[in-house]
Structure 1
Amino acid sequence: MSARFERLATPARSVVLAVGVATRMAREDPALLVIQAARRAPASWRAPAARAVAARSRSGSSRDVVGRWLAGHDADARRGVSHLLGRGRVSSLVAEIAVLLDVPLTGDDIASATWARALRRRGDLSGAVAAAGSTGRLAGRLSSELSTLQAGYDLPGRASERRRARPRRSSTDVPTVLHLLTNSLPTTTSGYAVRSHAVLRAQAAAGLQVAAATRLGYPVTVGRPVVRGSDLVDGVRYHRLVPWRLAADPAARLVQHRDAARALAAQLRPDVLHTTTDHLNAVVARSLARELGIPWVYEVRGVLEDTWVASFPTEQRAAVRASERYGLLRARETELARAADRVVVLGSSVADALVARGVDRGRIVLAPNAVDAQLLTRAVEPAAARAALGLPREGFWVGTVSSLVGYEGLATLIEAVALERAAGRDVRAALVGDGVSRPELERLVADRGLGEVVLLPGRVPPAEATGWYEALDVVAVPRLDTAVTRTVVPLKPMAAMALGRPVVASDLPALAEIVGRPGAGLLTEPESARSLADALALLASDPALRASLGAAGRAFASNRTWAAIGRGYRTMYEAVA
């Protein structure tokens, strides 16, 4: 196939795929299609749409609830949905919103498909299969999903195509590595995508031949209907595996994913496959590596099942943790980590957890979040950085550059700023980023009368994030106390430390590991605005302490550069390839 034909074929496939996905959803469940489209819409569209829907609606009516949900006011929408369910009949749209907001369904008129999705969301996969009935596409998809979570599940192999990895030409050859990723820049700018990009650049700088492929159908499946065969970002090539159509069920889709990756591997001839959490990526990588006769590496960036639990309201988490899905996810992740040739972790907390689950410590490699060495030489004062951004020079500024999601605990930070200002201290904040919690955070800022001193500027390109870190006197990581936040080490504190900014973080094992032990900041009681406010007051009044903590953080970060991490990856690949 000529390069010119392929340049035309991938955009054509992406358009056909986008139309096919939308058509299938419209035919099977139009209410769900509306929900999915609304969730992917930009905030600039959702806000006016919410106002239009809620206009002239009665408080507590279905229209009012939909409007509040569109606006991102989940707490209000949750109360409204609960009220409507208690009164009896609800529309299919409101019922689907109830599922998304984790409101227990009641009533006899709820569609079986909605019941099935609600049971799946709460972790009762067998119950969801039963609720969906014995026929229909939803029942087939749920049954297929359940089968992929069973112990020992594997993709059917192609024995006739199995072969040995290509021999090295000489001892000086370096491995070629193909990364199988969930998502990537430039479409997605999450912490996952930013780390992936930093890792790939570091590996290339270490002399490795690297390429990456994102999951099947991405980024069409997240709302980008026309895509090219690949994107080149800072010298890193991200290949897109875009078929004409997606297979009907999860198991078949995994085979389709493996086959598309096989075709790419035939061109790139990798010596090692490298994939990341979750188990779906791992099962594809394991199957393809076995066919190609090469090793595979599993990078465990989080604890999947605990991240899922953290997405529920606090009062529901115990029940979800006891669910069928939680147990299956935990066992599946453990099984695949034990099967990989090497397991990469970001911190010792995850390493210890995996060893406790039976993973050989000798196959675990630490590759923590790191920093660009150039950050270590920057010396910009906070007031000067604020002036460059058009912000007031005065005040004591605290904040973060992060995804605005519930477990980050940013509501606690806003409350702490309110306490400090009530005490007469000119504390201000900047919460840079976007996410599902942004509307509720904006409302909290307005309710506390902080609109002039707490900024939510939205998502910024990675290249601009440095300037926002420098504008802060203190960087805050006030994460909630959940199983996932106790284990998973975030990326954001490292950039702050490299820039010499002290960190205030929740006293959780994963944060104590990189903030408390090196003396780079202060640890506070999780979910306590008072404890966080006291730490801010201390730092605001003691410039010498801020300088000392900032210096300790910079010293710690100097030993965790991406250049060093890239060399560590190379050593690992050369050992297994």
Structure 2
Amino acid sequence: MLIDSTSRLLAEDPLLLAVQSARRLPPGARGRMARAAGAGARPGSLRLALGEFLADRPAQAERALAAAVPRSPAGRRLAAELSVQLGRLHPDAAAQLPPTLRSRDYWSRGQLHDAVAVLDGVPEARARRARLRSQLAVMSPGFTLPRVTRSPRWEEPARSGPTRVLHVLTNSFPHTQSGYAVRSHAVLGAQRAAGIEVRAITRIGYPVTVGLVGAAGTDVVDGIEYRRLLPSRLAPTPAARLVQMARLLAQEVEVFRPHVLHTTTNFQNALVTRAVAESYGLAWVYEMRGVLEQTWVASRPVSQQAQALGSERFRLLRAKETEMALAADAVVVLSQVQLEDLVARGVPAERIRIVPNAVEDAVLEVPAVGAAEARTRLGLPREGFWAGSVSSLVDYEGFDVLLEAVARCRASGVDVRCLLVGDGVSRPGLEARAAELGLGPEVCVLPGRVPQQESLNWYQALDAFCVPRRDTPVCRSVTPIKPFNAMALGREVLVSDLPALREVVARGGGEVFPAEDAAALATALTGAARRSEDSNRVAAPGQNRIRAEACGLPTWSRNGTVYRAMYEELR
């Protein structure tokens, strides 16, 4: 399966394969790979741009690419490949490219029909054209998967006894540590604690398709069973792959005999879950954790985001997500902002439940530790006022704004320092930006991804938890999970002034500042540092639970009862 995926990427998108491989390397190895690509390169050399690209530093790669003057056909092809990957290919230049490259550029910009049409009559692109046509069909209005045939041995779930729910996920612990995986695990744990029998399966091919060749067919984490759909060979097109996934999911249904199927964003999961649920006469729930089309827009270069909002891809994704929400028996969202958006799209409000991100139960019982003491245990300096986050490091999180704010504070004589725990495509760029701002290792720490069971130690090392998200549609709509833990731990919380984040701080308190305004964030950090009488203060035992209850913070145990009531209505 992995060989199939790798061979296809090697043939169609070698640069993407290279950067995906580089992203899975430890930071030191990734840096060495990037340096090797650019070693000995003179100013204006394309190798400098390639090295920055492989190191996941897009801004630096763009600057190096702009200064490069490729002279050979191979060099011009590499420059074009880099331009497509960076989203910086000029339309006039695109017209001169081979059809396969033009197709990738069209697709990346959201011009989906153009991406298919440019491959018409190109013999060497037949397989790619078939895949793109299939993907376009899957995204199109009205597309559904065929129902599966039930086994003669199938028995309907018992009407009495505990509710059984089978969750269909995109990824999960222990192989992925994203906010998505954190919420999935918290939901499953909360439901189990509420008396629901739960089991989870992940999308077809995962985690082998992300490079974990020896992955087991089942993982058990904290007593939660995650089952994998791992065929010996993946179907060649997206539509056929979803049919394949539906058949495998049906086998899991026949073994577990759930009362309800529960899936999460995106629409491909929903297509599979709907087909299987309807085949077995089961209710199904669609949990819309993100806003798929807006997340895609946020991934585009800032200069192209307005164009992306008007693109065919945006329109189709939005329509398809709405179609799935309308088809589900119940819809779960994370915030009032999301609920109002779905109601505006025509989804009946009575079918929507808000189940917000919440405080992890472990946080409520964790022994109280002062920030300075927590830093000492982690080998960090005790002194200073430390602001930061435990998060995926991606561009829309706006952590470059935090770095600039920290530099402003220090320039004005306030000892503010920065700790960003996690990994992601923005990490190399953040490390480079910290160096440019003169934030050395004693005042700016990026330790990378840490084990989930150790994450609370890093929360406690912070004096202030910061969510400096950019003012993008997805950030205005989607609430993060991490600030709730910080609030329960008694840490200051500073967030961008966006609707979804205002909703977060309204639950537990915090301060807002204008999004993408480093000067305003520096002012907020300075005020927080001055309010902090002693960063080594320690709350009394049990204070986290008392604080959460006093502030009305959502908890996963409370969420578990909301899910239980919803399922009882559906079964």
* TM-score, structure 2 normalization: 0.92
Alpha-carbon shift at residue 556 of structure 1 (Å): 6.0
Indicate yes or no: 2:42 matched with 1:58: yes
Indicate yes or no: 2:318 matched with 1:345: no
What is the alpha-carbon distance in structure 2 between the residues aligned to residue 86 and residue 316 of structure 1? 25
8 Å contact from structure 2 (residues 263, 286) kept in 1: yes
* 2:89 counterpart letter in structure 1: P
Residue in structure 2 matched with residue 237 of structure 1 by the alignment:
225
Residue in structure 2 matched with residue 567 of structure 1 by the alignment:
561
What is the alpha-carbon distance in structure 2 between the residues aligned to residue 55 and residue 464 of structure 1? 37
Indicate yes or no: 2:133 matched with 1:139: no
What is the alpha-carbon distance in structure 2 between the residues aligned to residue 467 and residue 355 of structure 1? 40
Residue in structure 2 matched with residue 359 of structure 1 by the alignment:
347
What is the alpha-carbon distance in structure 1 between the residues aligned to residue 437 and residue 8 of structure 2? 45
* 1:538 counterpart letter in structure 2: G
8 Å contact from structure 1 (residues 177, 270) kept in 2: yes
Picking from 268, 275, 280, the partner of 2:256 is 268
Residue in structure 2 matched with residue 121 of structure 1 by the alignment:
108
Q: SS at the partner of 2:3?
A: helix
Residue in structure 1 matched with residue 313 of structure 2 by the alignment:
325
Say if 1:107 and 1:345 are closer, same or farther in 2 by CA, change over 3 A: closer
* 2:31 counterpart letter in structure 1: A
Residue in structure 1 matched with residue 168 of structure 2 by the alignment:
180
Residue in structure 2 matched with residue 97 of structure 1 by the alignment:
82
What is the alpha-carbon distance in structure 1 between the residues aligned to residue 111 and residue 81 of structure 2? 17
Alpha-carbon shift at residue 362 of structure 1 (Å): 0.2
Picking from 295, 301, 308, the partner of 2:289 is 301
Instruction: Choose 248-257 or 556-565, whichever is displaced more.
Output: 556-565
For 1:280-319, list aligned pairs within 5 A: 280-319=268-307
For 1:77-226, list aligned pairs within 5 A: 77-84=61-68, 89=73, 90-105=75-90, 106=93, 110-134=97-121, 136-158=126-148, 166-170=156-160, 173-226=161-214
Indicate yes or no: 2:400 matched with 1:416: no
Picking from 33, 39, 59, the partner of 1:49 is 33
What is the alpha-carbon distance in structure 2 between the residues aligned to residue 460 and residue 152 of structure 1? 43
Q: SS at the partner of 2:425?
A: coil
Alpha-carbon shift at residue 376 of structure 1 (Å): 2.8
8 Å contact from structure 2 (residues 507, 552) kept in 1: no
8 Å contact from structure 1 (residues 376, 558) kept in 2: no
Say if 1:21 and 1:551 are closer, same or farther in 2 by CA, change over 3 A: closer
Number of aligned residue pairs: give it. Answer: 557
8 Å contact from structure 1 (residues 373, 558) kept in 2: no
8 Å contact from structure 2 (residues 155, 254) kept in 1: no
Q: SS at the partner of 2:359?
A: coil
For 1:483-562, list aligned pairs within 5 A: 483-515=473-505, 517-518=506-507, 520-543=509-532, 554-555=548-549, 559-562=553-556
Alpha-carbon shift at residue 41 of structure 1 (Å): 3.7
* 2:472 counterpart letter in structure 1: T
What is the alpha-carbon distance in structure 2 between the residues aligned to residue 530 and residue 313 of structure 1? 24
Residue in structure 1 matched with residue 378 of structure 2 by the alignment:
389
Q: SS at the partner of 1:284?
A: helix
Alpha-carbon shift at residue 525 of structure 1 (Å): 0.8
8 Å contact from structure 1 (residues 518, 553) kept in 2: no
Residue in structure 2 matched with residue 368 of structure 1 by the alignment:
356
Alpha-carbon shift at residue 470 of structure 1 (Å): 0.9
Unaligned runs of 5+ in 2: none
8 Å contact from structure 1 (residues 477, 505) kept in 2: yes
Say if 1:354 and 1:522 are closer, same or farther in 2 by CA, change over 3 A: same
Residue in structure 1 matched with residue 432 of structure 2 by the alignment:
443
Alpha-carbon shift at residue 467 of structure 1 (Å): 1.0
Unaligned runs of 5+ in 1: 1-16
* 1:389 counterpart letter in structure 2: L
What is the alpha-carbon distance in structure 2 between the residues aligned to residue 116 and residue 556 of structure 1? 56
CA RMSD of aligned residues (A): 2.4
What is the alpha-carbon distance in structure 2 between the residues aligned to residue 109 and residue 45 of structure 1? 36
Residue in structure 2 matched with residue 405 of structure 1 by the alignment:
394
| Deviation sequence 1:546-572 (CA, Å, 0-9, x none) | 999x99973466541111111211111
Residue in structure 2 matched with residue 11 of structure 1 by the alignment:
none
What is the alpha-carbon distance in structure 2 between the residues aligned to residue 238 and residue 44 of structure 1? 32
What is the alpha-carbon distance in structure 2 between the residues aligned to residue 207 and residue 91 of structure 1? 62
What is the alpha-carbon distance in structure 1 between the residues aligned to residue 508 and residue 549 of structure 2? 10
Q: SS at the partner of 2:48?
A: helix
What is the alpha-carbon distance in structure 1 between the residues aligned to residue 172 and residue 315 of structure 2? 29
Picking from 229, 237, 244, the partner of 1:249 is 237
* 1:21 counterpart letter in structure 2: S
Alpha-carbon shift at residue 519 of structure 1 (Å): 5.8
Alpha-carbon shift at residue 386 of structure 1 (Å): 1.3
What is the alpha-carbon distance in structure 1 between the residues aligned to residue 395 and residue 12 of structure 2? 32
Alpha-carbon shift at residue 573 of structure 1 (Å): 0.7
Q: SS at the partner of 2:118?
A: helix
Picking from 470, 489, 494, the partner of 1:480 is 470
What is the alpha-carbon distance in structure 1 between the residues aligned to residue 181 and residue 545 of structure 2? 29
* 1:231 counterpart letter in structure 2: D
What is the alpha-carbon distance in structure 2 between the residues aligned to residue 318 and residue 124 of structure 1? 14
| Deviation sequence 1:423-449 (CA, Å, 0-9, x none) | 111111111111111111111111111
Alpha-carbon shift at residue 76 of structure 1 (Å): 1.8
Q: SS at the partner of 1:168?
A: coil
| Deviation sequence 1:513-550 (CA, Å, 0-9, x none) | 121x24611100111111011111111112379999x9
Residue in structure 2 matched with residue 457 of structure 1 by the alignment:
447
| Deviation sequence 1:483-531 (CA, Å, 0-9, x none) | 010110001110101111120110111010121x246111001111110
What is the alpha-carbon distance in structure 1 between the residues aligned to residue 218 and residue 149 of structure 2? 30
Q: SS at the partner of 1:132?
A: coil
8 Å contact from structure 1 (residues 35, 96) kept in 2: no
Alpha-carbon shift at residue 80 of structure 1 (Å): 3.0
Picking from 404, 414, 430, the partner of 1:425 is 414
Alpha-carbon shift at residue 83 of structure 1 (Å): 4.7
8 Å contact from structure 2 (residues 487, 508) kept in 1: no
Alpha-carbon shift at residue 72 of structure 1 (Å): 2.3
What is the alpha-carbon distance in structure 2 between the residues aligned to residue 275 and residue 55 of structure 1? 47
Say if 1:248 and 1:572 are closer, same or farther in 2 by CA, change over 3 A: same
Instruction: Choose 91-100 or 200-209, whichever is displaced more.
Output: 91-100
